[in-house]
């Protein structure tokens, strides 16, 4: 996965002569983290952990959560420290109560936006979006790039198929994913970089009884 995972630094103290030793303020060891990952289908999952790197690895190994197990891979998009487990649980509940747009806005404040994202004025200026795809987005009511962050590309694709009365090439879904991700702050990537994600998401959807 693109995107480097954050690491928790732990201090190590070298031994000192007894006479030179001074009282030290040591970490209590009770610090917890609230984290949020984006699943393969675009949904967001919030949890808590003492070691976010390790927990994300467990998610991608399919051993952390029943929800994420069928929506792999996951990508860490947000984390924040809390003084103890109780505080982390309360913050987790508060984040889960947010809607998708609020969660994404919160995550974006922690990330450096992709170069040039704020300068995109037309749909056709988004990487991978040509006149035909821009026309499809306008048909869905999205007339400006600012209308893409927070939207579910899978839902957009399904809605387009519904209103046009036929199933579009899945590559169009890949393009929708690329466009939404870019406007949400992801680096510029060609649409086919999202094909594997789309296939996993569609397979999971089918396996879930769809």
- Kindly list the structural domains of the chain, giving each domain's residue range(s) and its CATH number in brackets, ordered by start: 27-108 (3.40.1440.10), 117-207 (1.10.150)
- Strands 32-38 and 44-49, by their bridges, are antiparallel
pLDDT of res. 208: 52
Q: What is residue 121's predicted lDDT score, i.e. its pLDDT?
A: 83
CA distance 194 to 64: 24
What are the helix (H) ranges across the chain? 52-61, 66-69, 85-96, 100-108, 131-139, 153-164, 170-183, 195-207
Distance between CA atoms of residues 145 and 117, nearest Å: 9
d(CA 73, CA 66): 13
Using alpha carbons only, what angle is made at residue 208 by residues 204 and 210, rounded to the nearest 5 degrees? 100
Q: What is the pLDDT along the chain (210 residues), one digit of tens a residue?
A: 443 333 333 333 333 344 444 333 334 457 899 999 999 888 999 999 999 989 999 999 999 999 999 999 998 888 888 878 888 898 898 889 888 888 888 887 665 544 444 568 889 999 999 999 999 999 888 888 888 887 888 888 998 999 899 999 999 999 999 999 898 888 889 999 999 988 988 887 666 543
Alpha carbon distance 198, 203 (integer Å): 8
* pLDDT, position 207: 63
- Give the residue from 129, 109, 114, 105 showing the smallest Cα distance to 177: 129
The candidate with the shortest Cα–Cα distance to 203, out of 70, 75, 59, 44, is 70
Counting Cβ atoms within 10 Å, is residue 178 exposed (0-12), middle (13-18) or buried (19+)?
A: buried
At residue 160, the pLDDT reads 92
148: which 2 tokens? Answer: 């893409």
DSSP 17-69: -GGG--------S--EEEEEEE-TTS-EEEEEES-HHHHHHHHHHT-S-HHHH
Query: Which residues, 6 or more positions from 12, have their beta carbon under 8 angstroms from its beta carbon?
Result: none
CB atoms within 10 A of CB 4: 8
Query: Is the distance from CB of 1 to CB of 75 less than 8 angstroms?
Result: yes
Q: Please compute, for residue 66, the number of CA atoms within 13 A of its CA located in the half-sphere on the CB side.
A: 1
Q: By three-state DSSP, how is residue 81 classified?
A: strand
The helix/strand/coil state of 194 is helix
């Amino acid at each position: 996965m693109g995107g480097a995972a954050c690491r928790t630094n732990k201090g190590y103290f070298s031994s000192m002569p007894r006479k030179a030793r001074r009282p030290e303020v040591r970490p209590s060891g009770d610090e917890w983290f609230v984290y949020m990952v984006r699943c393969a289908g675009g949904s967001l999952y919030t949890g808590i952990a003492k070691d976010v790197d390790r927990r994300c690895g467990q998610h991608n190994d399919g051993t952390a959560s029943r929800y994420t197990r069928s929506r792999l891979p996951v990508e860490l998009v947000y984390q924040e420290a809390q003084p103890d487990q109780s505080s982390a649980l309360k913050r987790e509940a508060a984040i889960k109560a947010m809607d998708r747009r609020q969660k994404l806005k919160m995550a974006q404040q922690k990330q450096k936006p992709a170069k040039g994202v704020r300068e995109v004025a037309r749909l056709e200026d988004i990487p991978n979006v040509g006149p035909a795809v821009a026309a499809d987005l306008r048909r869905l009511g999205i007339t400006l790039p600012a209308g893409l962050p927070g939207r579910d590309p899978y839902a957009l694709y399904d809605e387009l198929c519904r209103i046009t009365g036929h199933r579009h090439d899945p590559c169009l879904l890949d393009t929708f994913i690329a466009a939404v991700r870019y406007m949400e702050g992801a680096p510029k990537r060609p649409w086919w970089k999202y094909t594997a994600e789309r296939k996993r998401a569609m397979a999971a959807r089918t396996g879930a009884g769809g």
